[in-house]
A and B are shown apart, each in its own frame.
Chain A
Amino acid sequence: MRRKVVFLLLTVLAVFSLTGLAAEKKLTVISGWSGPEMDAFMPVLKEFEKETGIRVDYQIYRAEDLAVLLPAQFDSKTAPADVIFMWAWFINKQAQNGHVLEVTGALNESDFVPGVLDAVKSGGKLWGAPYTGKIKPGFWYRKSFFKQHGLAVPNTWEEFVDLCARIKKLPGVRAPIASGNGVGWPLSDVTEHFIATFGGPEMTRDLIAGKVKWTDPAVRAIFENRLAPLLKAGYFSEPIEWTMAADLWWAGDYALFFMGSWITGMVKDPADLGVFALPGARGLVFGTDYAFVPAYTKYPAEARKLLAHLATRGQTLQVAAGGHIATYTGAPLDVYPPVDREVAALLRGREALPDLDDTIGGEWQPAFWDQLKLLWVSPDRVGEVLDTLQRKAGK
Chain B
Amino acid sequence: MRTLRGRALFFVPALALLAVFVVYPVVNTVWLSFFTSEGQFALLGNYGEVLSQPEMFDPRGFARGFPYGALVHNVMWIVIHLPLTAGLGLVLAVILREIRGGAIVKSIIFLGMVTPMVVGGVILRFLFDGNVGILPSLMSIVGIPRRTLTAYPDTALFSLILGSLWLWTPFSMILYSAGLETIPDYVYEAAVIDGASPMRAFFAITVPMLRPVTGVVITMTFLWVLKIFDIVYVATMGGPGGASNVLALQMYMYAFREFDANSAAVVATLLMLVALAVSIPTFRSVRGEQP
Residues on A lying within 8 angstroms of B by beta carbon are 67-68, 71, 181, 183-184, 238-241, 244, 248, 362-363, 366, 370-371, 373-378, 381, 384-385, 388, 395
Tell which of B132, B151, B253, B258 touches A239, judged by Cβ atoms closer than 8 Å: B151
**Contact assessment for B257 and A366 in the assembled complex, using a CB-CB cutoff below 8 Å:** yes
Chain B contacts of A183 at CB under 8 A? 237
Q: Which residue of B lies closest to A174 (CB)?
A: B131
Q: Which of A68, A239, A378, A381 has the most CB of B within 10 A?
A: A378
**Contact assessment for A385 and B241 in the assembled complex, using a CB-CB cutoff below 8 Å:** yes
| Complex CA–CA separation, A362 to B131 (angstroms) | 32
Chain B contacts of A375 at CB under 8 A? 241
Known A240-B148, A248-B131, A377-B153; judge A370-B257 contact (CB<8 A).
no
Chain A contacts of B256 at CB under 8 A? 67-68
* 1/0 contact string of B219-242 vs chain A (CB within 8 Å): 000000000000000000111111
Tell which of B132, B148, B153, B259 touches A374, judged by Cβ atoms closer than 8 Å: B153
Q: Does B147 make an interface contact (CB < 8 A)?
A: yes
**Contact assessment for B148 and A239 in the assembled complex, using a CB-CB cutoff below 8 Å:** yes
Q: Which residue of A lies closest to B239 (CB)?
A: A370
Q: Which of B64, B153, B240, B258 has the most CB of A within 10 A?
A: B240
Write the nearest CB–CB distance from B131 to chain A, whole angstroms: 6
| Complex CA–CA separation, A381 to B242 (angstroms) | 13
| Complex CA–CA separation, A68 to B252 (angstroms) | 10
**Contact assessment for A374 and B130 in the assembled complex, using a CB-CB cutoff below 8 Å:** no
Q: Does B165 make an interface contact (CB < 8 A)?
A: no
| Complex CA–CA separation, A385 to B34 (angstroms) | 32
Q: Does B57 make an interface contact (CB < 8 A)?
A: no
Give me the 5 closest cross-chain CB pairs, A-B, nearest first: A374-B241, A373-B240, A374-B240, A370-B239, A68-B256
Write the nearest CB–CB distance from A189 to chain B, whole angstroms: 17
| Complex CA–CA separation, A11 to B159 (angstroms) | 67
**Contact assessment for A363 and B148 in the assembled complex, using a CB-CB cutoff below 8 Å:** no
Write the nearest CB–CB distance from B178 to chain A, whole angstroms: 39
Chain B, 109-130, CB within 8 A of any chain A CB: 125, 129-130
Chain B contacts of A370 at CB under 8 A? 237-242
Write the nearest CB–CB distance from B61 to chain A, whole angstroms: 11
**Contact assessment for B253 and A363 in the assembled complex, using a CB-CB cutoff below 8 Å:** yes
| Complex CA–CA separation, A375 to B152 (angstroms) | 10
**Contact assessment for B153 and A240 in the assembled complex, using a CB-CB cutoff below 8 Å:** no
Write the nearest CB–CB distance from A162 to chain B, whole angstroms: 26
12 intermolecular pairs with C-beta atoms under 8 Å apart: A184-B239, A238-B152, A240-B129, A363-B257, A363-B258, A371-B241, A373-B151, A373-B241, A374-B242, A377-B240, A378-B241, A381-B64
**Contact assessment for A244 and B131 in the assembled complex, using a CB-CB cutoff below 8 Å:** yes
Residues on B lying within 8 angstroms of A by beta carbon are 54, 64, 125, 129-132, 147-148, 151-153, 237-243, 253, 256-259
The number of inter-chain residue pairs (CB within 8 angstroms) is 70
Chain B contacts of A366 at CB under 8 A? 237, 253, 257
Write the nearest CB–CB distance from B7 to chain A, whole angstroms: 38
Tell which of B131, B147, B153, B238 touches A378, judged by Cβ atoms closer than 8 Å: B153
| Complex CA–CA separation, A181 to B147 (angstroms) | 15
Q: Which residue of A lies closest to B125 (CB)?
A: A241
| Complex CA–CA separation, A385 to B125 (angstroms) | 24
Chain A contacts of B64 at CB under 8 A? 381, 384
Chain B contacts of A381 at CB under 8 A? 64, 241
Tell which of B130, B132, B239, B241 touches A238, judged by Cβ atoms closer than 8 Å: B130
Chain B contacts of A184 at CB under 8 A? 237, 239
Chain B contacts of A362 at CB under 8 A? 257-258
Chain A contacts of B242 at CB under 8 A? 370, 374
Chain A contacts of B257 at CB under 8 A? 67-68, 362-363, 366
Chain A contacts of B253 at CB under 8 A? 363, 366
Tell which of A71, A373, A395 touches B239, judged by Cβ atoms closer than 8 Å: A373
Write the nearest CB–CB distance from A72 to chain B, whole angstroms: 8
Write the nearest CB–CB distance from A140 to chain B, whole angstroms: 19
Q: Which residue of A lies closest to B259 (CB)?
A: A71
Chain A contacts of B130 at CB under 8 A? 238, 240
| Complex CA–CA separation, A375 to B151 (angstroms) | 11
| Complex CA–CA separation, A388 to B242 (angstroms) | 11
Write the nearest CB–CB distance from B249 to chain A, whole angstroms: 11
Chain A contacts of B152 at CB under 8 A? 238, 377-378
| Complex CA–CA separation, A240 to B125 (angstroms) | 11
Other than the given A240-B129, A240-B148, 13 more pairs (CB < 8 A) read A67-B256, A67-B257, A68-B256, A239-B148, A239-B151, A241-B129, A371-B241, A373-B241, A374-B243, A376-B151, A377-B240, A381-B64, A388-B241
Chain A contacts of B151 at CB under 8 A? 181, 238-239, 373, 376-377
| Complex CA–CA separation, A241 to B258 (angstroms) | 26
Write the nearest CB–CB distance from A285 to chain B, whole angstroms: 23
Write the nearest CB–CB distance from B248 to chain A, whole angstroms: 15
Q: Which residue of B lies closest to A395 (CB)?
A: B258
| Complex CA–CA separation, A378 to B156 (angstroms) | 13
| Complex CA–CA separation, A143 to B248 (angstroms) | 48
Chain B contacts of A239 at CB under 8 A? 148, 151, 240
| Complex CA–CA separation, A81 to B148 (angstroms) | 37
Q: Which residue of A lies closest to B242 (CB)?
A: A370
**Contact assessment for B241 and A240 in the assembled complex, using a CB-CB cutoff below 8 Å:** no
Chain B contacts of A240 at CB under 8 A? 129-131, 148
Write the nearest CB–CB distance from A395 to chain B, whole angstroms: 8
Chain B contacts of A377 at CB under 8 A? 151-153, 240
Q: Which residue of B lies closest to A72 (CB)?
A: B256
Q: Which of A240, A373, A395 has the most CB of B within 10 A?
A: A373
| Complex CA–CA separation, A273 to B256 (angstroms) | 40
Chain A contacts of B237 at CB under 8 A? 183-184, 366, 370
Tell which of A238, A248, A388 touches B148, judged by Cβ atoms closer than 8 Å: A238
Write the nearest CB–CB distance from B141 to chain A, whole angstroms: 18
